[in-house]
Amino acid sequence: MHIPVVAGGAEYDVVVAEGLTGLGAALAVGRGPGRCVVVTNPVVAPLHAARLRAELEGAGWHVEQLEVPDGEANKTLATWEALVGGLLAARVDRQTPVLALGGGVTGDIVGFAAATVLRGVPLVQVPTTLLAMVDSSVGGKTGVNTASGKNLVGAFHQPILVWAALDTLATLPDAELRCGFGEIVKHAVLAGEEALATCEALAPALVARDPAALARMVADSVRTKAAVVADDPHEQGRRAVLNLGHTLGHALESVCGYGVLRHGEAVALGLLGITRFAEAEGWLTEPSLPRRLESLIAALGLPISAPADVDPAALARAVGYDKKRLRGMLRIVVPYAPGRIELRSLPLDEVPTLIQALPIDR
Protein backbone atom coordinates (compact mmCIF):
# COMPACT_ATOMS: atom_id res chain seq x y z
CA MET A 1 0.00 0.00 0.00
CA HIS A 2 1.11 3.57 -0.70
CA ILE A 3 0.69 6.22 1.98
CA PRO A 4 1.33 9.78 0.76
CA VAL A 5 3.26 12.22 2.92
CA VAL A 6 3.31 15.97 2.29
CA ALA A 7 5.73 17.89 4.48
CA GLY A 8 7.81 21.03 4.18
CA GLY A 9 7.21 21.36 0.47
CA ALA A 10 8.18 17.73 -0.13
CA GLU A 11 5.85 15.01 -1.32
CA TYR A 12 6.73 11.33 -1.14
CA ASP A 13 5.20 7.91 -0.64
CA VAL A 14 5.65 5.49 2.21
CA VAL A 15 5.26 2.08 0.59
CA VAL A 16 4.31 -0.79 2.91
CA ALA A 17 5.18 -3.86 0.84
CA GLU A 18 5.71 -7.57 1.31
CA GLY A 19 9.31 -7.28 0.12
CA LEU A 20 11.82 -5.21 -1.84
CA THR A 21 10.42 -6.02 -5.29
CA GLY A 22 9.45 -2.82 -7.08
CA LEU A 23 11.71 -0.47 -5.13
CA GLY A 24 14.16 0.02 -8.00
CA ALA A 25 11.44 0.92 -10.46
CA ALA A 26 9.74 3.23 -7.97
CA LEU A 27 13.01 5.06 -7.35
CA ALA A 28 13.51 5.56 -11.08
CA VAL A 29 10.16 7.32 -11.57
CA GLY A 30 10.78 10.90 -12.61
CA ARG A 31 14.55 10.59 -12.61
CA GLY A 32 15.56 7.45 -14.51
CA PRO A 33 18.05 4.93 -13.15
CA GLY A 34 21.65 6.05 -12.64
CA ARG A 35 24.14 5.90 -9.81
CA CYS A 36 23.04 5.34 -6.23
CA VAL A 37 24.68 4.56 -2.91
CA VAL A 38 23.35 2.01 -0.40
CA VAL A 39 24.48 2.61 3.17
CA THR A 40 23.88 -0.22 5.62
CA ASN A 41 25.54 -1.75 8.69
CA PRO A 42 27.41 -4.98 9.45
CA VAL A 43 24.34 -6.65 10.97
CA VAL A 44 21.86 -5.87 8.18
CA ALA A 45 24.28 -6.16 5.25
CA PRO A 46 24.56 -9.98 5.20
CA LEU A 47 20.79 -10.31 5.63
CA HIS A 48 19.37 -7.90 3.08
CA ALA A 49 22.02 -5.94 1.16
CA ALA A 50 22.44 -8.47 -1.65
CA ARG A 51 18.68 -8.56 -2.25
CA LEU A 52 18.49 -4.78 -2.34
CA ARG A 53 21.44 -4.52 -4.74
CA ALA A 54 19.88 -7.12 -7.03
CA GLU A 55 16.57 -5.25 -7.01
CA LEU A 56 18.24 -1.94 -7.82
CA GLU A 57 20.57 -3.36 -10.46
CA GLY A 58 17.67 -5.19 -12.07
CA ALA A 59 15.99 -1.82 -12.54
CA GLY A 60 19.12 -0.35 -14.15
CA TRP A 61 20.81 1.30 -11.17
CA HIS A 62 24.59 1.29 -10.67
CA VAL A 63 25.07 0.61 -6.96
CA GLU A 64 27.86 1.48 -4.57
CA GLN A 65 27.71 0.24 -1.00
CA LEU A 66 29.03 1.75 2.23
CA GLU A 67 28.67 0.71 5.87
CA VAL A 68 28.29 2.49 9.18
CA PRO A 69 28.70 0.74 12.55
CA ASP A 70 25.55 -0.62 14.14
CA GLY A 71 23.97 0.37 17.43
CA GLU A 72 22.90 3.46 19.36
CA ALA A 73 26.35 3.82 20.90
CA ASN A 74 27.70 4.53 17.38
CA LYS A 75 25.15 7.23 16.56
CA THR A 76 27.80 9.92 16.92
CA LEU A 77 29.36 12.86 15.14
CA ALA A 78 32.40 10.70 14.46
CA THR A 79 30.29 8.14 12.59
CA TRP A 80 28.55 10.91 10.64
CA GLU A 81 31.90 12.46 9.71
CA ALA A 82 33.29 9.15 8.47
CA LEU A 83 30.16 8.55 6.37
CA VAL A 84 30.35 12.04 4.86
CA GLY A 85 33.91 11.26 3.85
CA GLY A 86 32.78 7.99 2.28
CA LEU A 87 30.02 9.65 0.29
CA LEU A 88 32.37 12.33 -0.99
CA ALA A 89 34.90 9.66 -1.93
CA ALA A 90 32.12 7.91 -3.87
CA ARG A 91 31.69 11.17 -5.81
CA VAL A 92 28.00 11.60 -5.13
CA ASP A 93 26.31 14.58 -6.72
CA ARG A 94 23.02 16.28 -5.94
CA GLN A 95 21.14 13.80 -8.10
CA THR A 96 22.62 10.65 -6.49
CA PRO A 97 20.08 8.88 -4.27
CA VAL A 98 21.47 7.61 -0.97
CA LEU A 99 19.55 4.65 0.46
CA ALA A 100 19.58 3.93 4.20
CA LEU A 101 19.17 0.18 4.69
CA GLY A 102 18.79 -0.64 8.36
CA GLY A 103 17.09 0.39 11.56
CA GLY A 104 16.54 3.78 13.09
CA VAL A 105 20.16 4.41 14.02
CA THR A 106 21.33 3.78 10.47
CA GLY A 107 18.46 5.82 9.05
CA ASP A 108 19.21 8.79 11.33
CA ILE A 109 22.94 8.81 10.58
CA VAL A 110 22.50 8.32 6.84
CA GLY A 111 19.74 10.91 6.77
CA PHE A 112 21.94 13.47 8.51
CA ALA A 113 24.77 12.76 6.07
CA ALA A 114 22.38 13.08 3.12
CA ALA A 115 21.13 16.39 4.50
CA THR A 116 24.61 17.85 4.79
CA VAL A 117 26.70 16.40 1.95
CA LEU A 118 26.66 18.95 -0.89
CA ARG A 119 23.99 20.72 1.20
CA GLY A 120 21.57 17.92 0.47
CA VAL A 121 21.29 14.81 -1.70
CA PRO A 122 18.20 12.61 -2.29
CA LEU A 123 17.47 10.25 0.60
CA VAL A 124 15.59 6.94 0.48
CA GLN A 125 14.71 5.21 3.74
CA VAL A 126 14.60 1.39 3.59
CA PRO A 127 13.82 0.51 7.22
CA THR A 128 14.44 -3.07 8.34
CA THR A 129 13.15 -2.78 11.90
CA LEU A 130 9.57 -2.29 13.05
CA LEU A 131 10.64 0.74 15.08
CA ALA A 132 12.12 2.45 12.04
CA MET A 133 9.15 1.54 9.84
CA VAL A 134 6.58 3.13 12.12
CA ASP A 135 8.60 6.10 13.31
CA SER A 136 12.08 7.30 12.40
CA SER A 137 11.93 6.64 8.65
CA VAL A 138 8.97 9.00 8.23
CA GLY A 139 9.01 12.75 8.71
CA GLY A 140 12.53 13.85 7.84
CA LYS A 141 14.10 14.17 11.29
CA THR A 142 17.74 13.07 11.19
CA GLY A 143 20.63 13.39 13.60
CA VAL A 144 23.11 11.98 16.06
CA ASN A 145 23.57 11.85 19.81
CA THR A 146 26.05 13.78 21.94
CA ALA A 147 27.19 13.52 25.55
CA SER A 148 24.54 16.12 26.43
CA GLY A 149 21.62 14.10 25.10
CA LYS A 150 19.91 12.22 22.32
CA ASN A 151 19.41 13.69 18.82
CA LEU A 152 20.76 17.11 19.80
CA VAL A 153 22.63 17.55 16.51
CA GLY A 154 20.78 16.99 13.25
CA ALA A 155 18.70 18.40 10.44
CA PHE A 156 15.27 18.13 8.85
CA HIS A 157 15.68 16.33 5.53
CA GLN A 158 12.64 14.68 3.99
CA PRO A 159 13.22 11.43 2.06
CA ILE A 160 12.08 11.09 -1.53
CA LEU A 161 10.75 7.58 -0.79
CA VAL A 162 10.26 5.26 2.16
CA TRP A 163 10.04 1.53 1.42
CA ALA A 164 8.96 -0.67 4.33
CA ALA A 165 9.56 -4.28 3.24
CA LEU A 166 7.73 -6.36 5.83
CA ASP A 167 9.66 -9.53 5.02
CA THR A 168 12.80 -7.96 6.52
CA LEU A 169 11.11 -8.27 9.92
CA ALA A 170 11.47 -12.07 9.71
CA THR A 171 15.16 -11.69 10.60
CA LEU A 172 14.48 -9.31 13.48
CA PRO A 173 15.05 -10.71 17.00
CA ASP A 174 12.00 -10.65 19.26
CA ALA A 175 13.54 -7.99 21.51
CA GLU A 176 14.04 -5.65 18.54
CA LEU A 177 10.54 -6.34 17.21
CA ARG A 178 9.13 -5.35 20.60
CA CYS A 179 10.88 -1.99 20.33
CA GLY A 180 8.55 -1.07 17.49
CA PHE A 181 5.57 -1.84 19.68
CA GLY A 182 6.46 1.09 21.95
CA GLU A 183 6.02 3.58 19.11
CA ILE A 184 2.93 1.77 17.83
CA VAL A 185 1.27 2.23 21.24
CA LYS A 186 2.28 5.90 21.24
CA HIS A 187 0.72 6.43 17.81
CA ALA A 188 -2.44 4.62 18.89
CA VAL A 189 -2.81 6.95 21.88
CA LEU A 190 -2.29 9.94 19.59
CA ALA A 191 -4.83 8.69 17.04
CA GLY A 192 -7.68 8.11 19.47
CA GLU A 193 -9.93 5.52 21.10
CA GLU A 194 -10.57 3.42 18.00
CA ALA A 195 -6.85 3.11 17.24
CA LEU A 196 -5.99 2.25 20.84
CA ALA A 197 -8.75 -0.37 21.00
CA THR A 198 -7.48 -1.89 17.73
CA CYS A 199 -3.97 -2.06 19.14
CA GLU A 200 -5.27 -3.75 22.29
CA ALA A 201 -7.21 -6.29 20.21
CA LEU A 202 -4.24 -7.05 17.93
CA ALA A 203 -1.63 -7.31 20.69
CA PRO A 204 -1.50 -11.15 20.71
CA ALA A 205 -1.28 -11.26 16.90
CA LEU A 206 1.51 -8.66 16.89
CA VAL A 207 3.54 -10.66 19.39
CA ALA A 208 2.96 -13.76 17.23
CA ARG A 209 4.27 -11.83 14.17
CA ASP A 210 1.03 -12.20 12.25
CA PRO A 211 1.73 -10.54 8.85
CA ALA A 212 -1.72 -8.98 8.52
CA ALA A 213 -1.58 -7.50 12.03
CA LEU A 214 1.90 -6.10 11.45
CA ALA A 215 0.88 -4.60 8.09
CA ARG A 216 -2.21 -3.01 9.66
CA MET A 217 -0.33 -1.42 12.55
CA VAL A 218 2.57 -0.22 10.38
CA ALA A 219 0.14 1.46 8.00
CA ASP A 220 -1.95 2.95 10.81
CA SER A 221 1.13 4.31 12.57
CA VAL A 222 2.50 5.84 9.37
CA ARG A 223 -0.82 7.50 8.60
CA THR A 224 -0.97 8.97 12.12
CA LYS A 225 2.56 10.32 11.94
CA ALA A 226 2.14 11.58 8.35
CA ALA A 227 -0.92 13.60 9.32
CA VAL A 228 0.94 15.33 12.15
CA VAL A 229 4.08 15.94 10.08
CA ALA A 230 2.03 17.47 7.27
CA ASP A 231 0.75 20.14 9.67
CA ASP A 232 4.15 20.91 11.22
CA PRO A 233 7.12 19.61 9.21
CA HIS A 234 9.80 21.42 11.24
CA GLU A 235 8.44 20.83 14.74
CA GLN A 236 7.54 24.44 15.43
CA GLY A 237 4.33 23.53 17.20
CA ARG A 238 1.88 20.64 16.92
CA ARG A 239 4.43 18.08 15.70
CA ALA A 240 5.83 18.05 19.22
CA VAL A 241 2.95 15.72 20.19
CA LEU A 242 4.97 12.97 18.47
CA ASN A 243 7.36 13.28 21.42
CA LEU A 244 4.75 11.72 23.69
CA GLY A 245 6.71 9.52 26.10
CA HIS A 246 10.05 10.76 24.80
CA THR A 247 11.06 13.32 27.43
CA LEU A 248 11.29 10.63 30.09
CA GLY A 249 12.24 8.01 27.52
CA HIS A 250 15.25 9.94 26.25
CA ALA A 251 16.35 10.62 29.82
CA LEU A 252 16.21 6.89 30.58
CA GLU A 253 18.26 6.08 27.50
CA SER A 254 20.86 8.68 28.42
CA VAL A 255 21.19 7.62 32.06
CA CYS A 256 21.15 3.88 31.42
CA GLY A 257 23.58 4.28 28.51
CA TYR A 258 22.62 4.35 24.84
CA GLY A 259 21.95 0.82 23.69
CA VAL A 260 21.41 -0.59 27.20
CA LEU A 261 17.71 0.27 27.30
CA ARG A 262 16.24 0.02 23.81
CA HIS A 263 14.46 3.06 22.42
CA GLY A 264 11.04 1.44 22.15
CA GLU A 265 11.32 0.16 25.71
CA ALA A 266 12.28 3.61 26.94
CA VAL A 267 9.39 5.24 25.07
CA ALA A 268 6.92 2.77 26.58
CA LEU A 269 8.23 3.53 30.06
CA GLY A 270 8.16 7.25 29.34
CA LEU A 271 4.56 6.94 28.16
CA LEU A 272 3.60 5.18 31.38
CA GLY A 273 5.43 7.81 33.41
CA ILE A 274 3.83 10.85 31.80
CA THR A 275 0.37 9.24 31.98
CA ARG A 276 0.82 8.52 35.69
CA PHE A 277 2.04 12.09 36.19
CA ALA A 278 -1.06 13.41 34.40
CA GLU A 279 -3.19 11.22 36.66
CA ALA A 280 -1.50 12.56 39.79
CA GLU A 281 -2.00 16.13 38.58
CA GLY A 282 -5.70 15.50 37.94
CA TRP A 283 -5.44 16.17 34.21
CA LEU A 284 -6.80 12.90 32.83
CA THR A 285 -10.25 12.88 31.25
CA GLU A 286 -10.01 9.11 30.68
CA PRO A 287 -9.30 7.69 34.16
CA SER A 288 -8.67 4.16 32.87
CA LEU A 289 -5.81 5.20 30.60
CA PRO A 290 -2.88 4.38 32.95
CA ARG A 291 -4.16 0.87 33.63
CA ARG A 292 -4.99 0.25 29.97
CA LEU A 293 -1.54 1.32 28.87
CA GLU A 294 0.19 -0.77 31.51
CA SER A 295 -1.81 -3.84 30.46
CA LEU A 296 -1.19 -3.24 26.76
CA ILE A 297 2.53 -2.58 27.17
CA ALA A 298 2.91 -5.72 29.27
CA ALA A 299 0.92 -7.78 26.73
CA LEU A 300 3.33 -6.63 24.03
CA GLY A 301 6.29 -7.88 26.04
CA LEU A 302 7.66 -4.45 26.91
CA PRO A 303 8.89 -3.53 30.40
CA ILE A 304 6.50 -1.74 32.72
CA SER A 305 9.19 -0.52 35.12
CA ALA A 306 12.67 0.90 34.73
CA PRO A 307 15.76 -0.86 36.15
CA ALA A 308 16.06 -0.60 39.92
CA ASP A 309 19.54 0.93 39.76
CA VAL A 310 18.50 3.95 37.69
CA ASP A 311 19.29 7.15 39.59
CA PRO A 312 16.29 9.53 39.88
CA ALA A 313 18.62 12.51 40.37
CA ALA A 314 20.49 11.61 37.18
CA LEU A 315 17.17 11.29 35.37
CA ALA A 316 16.17 14.77 36.56
CA ARG A 317 19.43 16.18 35.26
CA ALA A 318 18.98 14.40 31.94
CA VAL A 319 15.45 15.75 31.57
CA GLY A 320 16.82 19.23 32.32
CA TYR A 321 19.04 18.90 29.26
CA ASP A 322 16.13 17.81 27.09
CA LYS A 323 16.08 19.74 23.80
CA LYS A 324 12.45 20.70 24.40
CA ARG A 325 13.29 23.23 27.14
CA LEU A 326 11.83 26.68 26.57
CA ARG A 327 12.68 29.78 28.61
CA GLY A 328 13.31 27.94 31.86
CA MET A 329 10.32 25.65 31.37
CA LEU A 330 10.18 22.07 30.18
CA ARG A 331 7.68 21.48 27.41
CA ILE A 332 5.97 18.17 28.04
CA VAL A 333 3.47 16.22 25.98
CA VAL A 334 0.51 15.19 28.10
CA PRO A 335 -2.15 12.58 27.28
CA TYR A 336 -5.52 13.56 28.69
CA ALA A 337 -7.33 10.74 26.88
CA PRO A 338 -6.83 8.74 23.68
CA GLY A 339 -6.78 11.30 20.87
CA ARG A 340 -6.56 14.27 23.24
CA ILE A 341 -2.90 15.19 23.59
CA GLU A 342 -1.71 18.62 24.70
CA LEU A 343 1.57 20.46 25.16
CA ARG A 344 2.19 21.96 28.57
CA SER A 345 5.04 23.94 30.10
CA LEU A 346 6.41 22.50 33.33
CA PRO A 347 8.62 24.61 35.62
CA LEU A 348 12.02 22.95 35.94
CA ASP A 349 11.67 22.80 39.73
CA GLU A 350 8.76 20.38 39.20
CA VAL A 351 10.89 17.92 37.22
CA PRO A 352 11.62 15.76 40.33
CA THR A 353 7.87 15.23 40.73
CA LEU A 354 7.67 14.17 37.10
CA ILE A 355 10.51 11.70 37.68
CA GLN A 356 8.69 10.23 40.68
CA ALA A 357 5.82 9.23 38.39
CA LEU A 358 8.16 7.04 36.33
CA PRO A 359 7.69 3.36 37.25
CA ILE A 360 11.01 2.09 38.63
CA ASP A 361 11.74 -1.32 40.17
CA ARG A 362 12.10 -0.71 43.86
Residue-range domains of the chain with CATH: 2-171 (3.40.50.1970), 175-356 (1.20.1090.10)
Cα–Cα dist 29/13, whole Å? 12
Is 263 a known active-site residue? yes
Q: Which listed residue (55, 235, 253, 286) is catalytic? A: 235
Q: What are phi and psi of 302, to 5 degrees?
A: -95, 155
SS (H, E, C) 167-201: HHHHHCCHHHHHHHHHHHHHHHHHHCHHHHHHHHH
Residues 208-212, mean pLDDT to the nearest whole number: 95
Segment 135-191, tens digit of pLDDT:
999 999 999 998 887 788 999 999 999 999 999 999 999 999 999 999 999 999 999
Is 2 a catalytic site residue? no
**261 pLDDT band (50/70/90 cuts)?**
confident
Beta bridge partners of 102: 127
Of 48, 53, 141, 262, the active-site residue reads 141
What is the pLDDT, as a whole number, of residue 259? 66
Residue 362 binned pLDDT confidence (cut-offs 50, 70, 90): low
Longest dimension (CA), the chain: 60
Q: Which of 75, 150, 246, 276 is catalytic?
A: 246
Known catalytic residue at 151: no
Catalytic residue flag (residue 183):
yes
Q: What is the pLDDT of residue 254?
A: 85
pLDDT value of position 47: 98
Q: How many C-beta atoms lie closer than 10 Å to residue 332's C-beta?
A: 25
**List 183, 253, 286, 294, catalytic entry:** 183
* Sign, Cα dihedral of 92, 97, 101, 102: positive
Clarify whether 119 is annotated catalytic.
yes
Average pLDDT over residues 267-271: 96
Determine if residue 322 is left, alpha or beta; phi over 0 gives left, psi from -120 to 50 gives alpha, anything else beta: beta
Band (pLDDT 50/70/90 cuts) for residue 33 is very high
> Which of the residues 243, 265, 286, 294 is marked catalytic?
243
Q: Are 124 and 62 in contact (CB under 8 A)?
A: no
Which range has the top average pLDDT, 69-73, 233-237, 290-294? 290-294
pLDDT above 70: percentage of residues in the chain: 97
pTM, full prediction: 0.91
DSSP reduced 3-state for 243: helix
Alpha carbon distances (Å) from 94 to 79, 113, 232, 265: 22, 13, 26, 37
Given a cut of 80, whether residue 20 has pLDDT beyond it is yes
Which band of pLDDT confidence, cut at 50, 70 and 90, is reported for residue 90?
very high
Amino acid at the residue 222: V
Residue 150 known to be catalytic:
no
213-252 pLDDT, tens per residue?
999 999 999 999 999 988 877 777 788 899 999 999 989 9
Q: Please confirm, yes or no, whether 235 is among the known catalytic residues.
A: yes
Count of C-beta atoms within a 10 Å radius of residue 29:
10
Decide if 51 contacts 38 (C-beta within 8 A). no
> What is the pLDDT at residue 30?
87
Residues 157, 178, 250, 276: which is the catalytic one? 250
- Is 239 a residue of the active site? yes
Closest to 273 in 3D by CA, of 351, 347, 211, 207: 351
Indicate the average pLDDT of the chain.
93
Query: Of the listed 223, 225, 262, 276, which one is catalytic?
Result: 225
